[in-house]
Amino acid sequence: MRKLFGTDGVRGTANTHPMTAEMALRIGAAAGHYFGRNARGVHRVVIGKDTRLSGYMFENALTAGLTSTGMNVLLMGPVPTPAVGLMTRSMRADLGVMISASHNPADDNGIKFFGPDGFKLSDQVETEIEALIESGVDLAPAGGIGRAKRIDDARFRYGERIKASLPRGIRLDGLKVVLDCANGAAYRAAPEILWELGADVVPVGVSPNGTNINDGCGSTKPRVAAETVVAHKADLGICLDGDADRVILIDETGTVADGDQIMALFASRWAAEDRLAKGTLVATVMSNLGLEHYLQGQGLHLERTKVGDRYVVERMREAGFNLGGEQSGHIVMTDHATTGDGLMAGLHFVAEMIRSGEPASALARRFDRVPQLLKNVRYEAGQEPLATAPVKAAIAEAEAALTGSGRLLIRKSGTEPLIRVMAECTDEALLAQVVDGIVAEVEAARVPA
């Protein structure tokens, strides 16, 4: 069992275990030792970060740990998470590191790793790194300590890769796009890329101050962007999260479209062009039943994984699929990227608007959602409310009630101390009844640790 790594790296409140400078140093040393064991004489690691105040602290601590094992560190500053995957591979680095807590509040932070192939690490590799963190590693001799260097053009390299993924000659002239960067990692790169493609950009969330990332903006809080789309009569709104690996779209009426709707469009379009590998889309257990029904109607297949975009990617790589993602807005196109890329997905949606001549509202509503209700219950360390008899009984009762008309999913979040209670059902009264019943039992089961 992994103790530090969750569904997307190590994450928590800054200056609280495990997200302390001391632990980051140990994590850096362990990762440096693990990836520095190959036969090559020169070892490199690239580090990117989002705009959180604590990013400076973790950048320095990780650099100290990595250089202590002989790794040469290339510091890219604020860049989207997918840029780290790209740069790790293009710069022939042994390891890539992104310092970010994604969509979480500014007080949180996290550490995500990418292997030399640009893909996120497997559970097995993370487990082995955890063992090295606990046991400690041998440090490099004084003459073998690594160096650190700033790389100033990372976001420009990323921008060229984004543009190269689009159909040849695509231009956004005449399109007005509201772009919400969540005061996060893409606050400079994303507006530059859209401007270079010819769009009239209306920026939102592009003034980070270290404490306002995801604060009332971004993919998890798109209200301001939606209002801006309507006020400016924009053609589309693109809302990224703090590290820009996920996207939520807003059509010209101010209506929000989640990752399921985006994946439905891409899957059907790619299938029509005979480029959807094996006629299959990979998504998680959180994706709406409506998406599954839509794909079946198109003669396509949906494969589900557990929650986490890296599990989606692992399944894609195992079976040779090339499109996948999450309802939350991670869209993974392995023909172009190694991880979810919110900006890339948003631009491919725009490209389809241009190709089809249809407005965003027509493209972003591919299916009718089956009513879905998700509620979160926070718990403290040491508590196990899902293990109590009343909660188990409530879950069993809910599953029986939903048989034939819906489904139930109860899970612990891999990034926050939350229990997520989600259900889908065509009967909305029954939906509320089963979710509220389980939430009440979970809340009652919470006891002091």
Cα–Cα distances in Å, from 118 out to 74, 110, 154, 432?
15, 18, 15, 42
Q: What are phi and psi of 373, to 5 degrees?
A: -130, 125
Question: How does DSSP classify residue 331?
Answer: E
Question: Is 405 an annotated catalytic residue?
Answer: no
Of 195, 353, 385, 161, the residue nearest 266 (C-alpha):
353
| CB-CB neighbours of 103 under 10 Å | 23
Alpha helices (H) in 94-222, listed in sequence order: 123-135, 154-164, 189-196
Q: Which amino acid is at 1?
A: M
| CB-CB neighbours of 137 under 10 Å | 18
Alpha helices (H) in 244-341, listed in sequence order: 259-272, 289-297, 309-319
- ∠ CA 68-73-75, nearest 5°, is 135
CA distance 384 to 446: 8
Straight-line distance from the first to the last Cα atom of the chain, in angstroms, rounded to the nearest whole number: 21
Q: Active-site residue among 54, 68, 100, 102?
A: 102
Q: What are phi and psi of 324, to 5 degrees?
A: -165, 180
- Burial class of 430 by CB neighbour count within 10 A (0 to 12, 13 to 18, 19+): middle
Q: What are phi and psi of 292, to 5 degrees?
A: -60, -45
Cα–Cα distances in Å, from 228 out to 179, 194, 232?
10, 17, 6
Q: What are phi and psi of 407, to 5 degrees?
A: -150, 160
Buried/exposed code over 362-388 (b: 16+ C-beta within 10 A; e: otherwise)? ebbebbebbbbbebebebeeebebbeb
CA distance 311 to 120: 9
Catalytic positions, please? 102
